[in-house]
Amino acid sequence: MNERTCWGIYRERAHSPGREFDDAEILRLTGKQLDARGFHVSLKTPDEIPVSVSGPPPAMFMMCEQTGVLERLRGWEQQGACIVNRPLSVLNTYRERMVLLLQQARVASPVSRIIPTSSGVTGASAVWVKRGDVHSTQEGDVSFAADGNEAERALRRLALRGIQSAVLQDHIPGDLIKFYGIGRPNLSPQVRTWFRWFYHKDQQVMGYSFDPEKLAGLVYHAAAALGLEIYGGDAIVSDGGATTVIDLNAWPSFALYREEAAGQIAAYLTERFVGEQST
């Protein structure tokens, strides 16, 4: 197989609620940019990934998130395929794993408890109740609870859907910031990084001052704790400038910066894929 052959794998539609076009488009544009750089790109849905792990392409870039296909890709990675994001790093964005990894890396993040959805809640103040596995795929996966009674009702709704665990996260007042990132600063001095942030639109922005460079450093540290190279997420800037990472996800839609991000991702992947093949 040509050393510049690579596959791009779309996200599962069930994991793109309301973002089906945006998620597909960033992958398509990245493939187009890689094609212009001399790669032979094939874009595939997760259902089109063969079960056999023999003869994988040398490089893959992917947005898929379900455990079955990720385990298949891990087998190909063990055979030498360079995959971005790595399958394990995508698994690390599953909420239970992410909470523990961010805590271990001492990333500023909300106080969080992992509990069975069958358990009760005592003395809870304002918290966010989040399903313990994947990110939000439908209404009810993430909900705000003003007190313990609301938290228990949210847990029961998750339990009725067969979701066994949940994360209770303390509510942190402040301005909600969305961010996008590409690259890992600790990977190599020659491999570029890219970072953008913006205020979430559905809020009254208080305009708390903060240092964007410190925000970028905090986000890079959080992404490195999960092993992510292409990612997005959410942070809260509180009164006084304290910044907290509340969520990270693998390869978002980059909707506000799609054209710019596609070029940056393609440049980054070229460095990763060519560098991996030359070592």
> What CATH number corresponds to the domain at position 29?
3.40.50.20
CATH number for the domain spanning 135: value is 3.30.1490
Together in a domain, 77 and 115:
no
pLDDT tens digits along 225-272: 999 999 999 999 999 999 999 999 999 999 999 999 999 999 999 999
On whether residue 105 sits in a domain, the answer given is no
Dist CA 249 CA 272 (whole Å): 20
Higher pLDDT, 43 or 277: 43
The maximal CA–CA distance of the chain, rounded, in angstroms, is 60
Of 170, 190, 206, which residue constitutes the final position of a domain? 170
40: confidence class by pLDDT, cuts 50, 70, 90:
very high
Q: What is the dihedral sign for C-alpha 235, 183, 137, 88?
A: negative
Dist CA 11 CA 215 (whole Å): 28
CB neighbour class for 90 (10 Å; exposed up to 12, middle 13-18, buried from 19): buried
Stretch 10-28: mean pLDDT: 90
Average pLDDT of the chain, as a whole number = 90
Q: How many domains does the chain have?
A: 3
Token code pair at residue 188: 């190599």
60: confidence class by pLDDT, cuts 50, 70, 90:
very high
> Is pLDDT of 277 > 50?
no
On whether residue 104 sits in a domain, the answer given is no
On whether residue 62 sits in a domain, the answer given is yes
Stretch 100-108: mean pLDDT: 96
Together in a domain, 166 and 184:
no
Question: What's the whole-model pTM score?
Answer: 0.90
pLDDT tens digits along 194-235: 999 999 988 899 999 999 999 999 999 999 999 999 999 999
Q: Which amino acid is at 174?
A: G
- Per-residue pLDDT, 257: 96
Stretch 115-132: mean pLDDT: 85
Dist CA 60 CA 45 (whole Å): 13
Dist CA 172 CA 152 (whole Å): 20
On whether residue 276 sits in a domain, the answer given is no
On whether residue 100 sits in a domain, the answer given is no
Residue 174: DSSP 8-state: S
Together in a domain, 115 and 58:
no
Together in a domain, 80 and 35:
yes
* Alpha-carbon distance values, 271 to 60, 181, 266, 276 (Å): 13, 16, 9, 8
Q: Which domain holds residue 13?
A: 5-85
Answer yes or no: are the C-beta atoms of 148 and 165 closer than 8 Å.
no
137: confidence class by pLDDT, cuts 50, 70, 90:
confident
> Is pLDDT of 188 > 70?
no
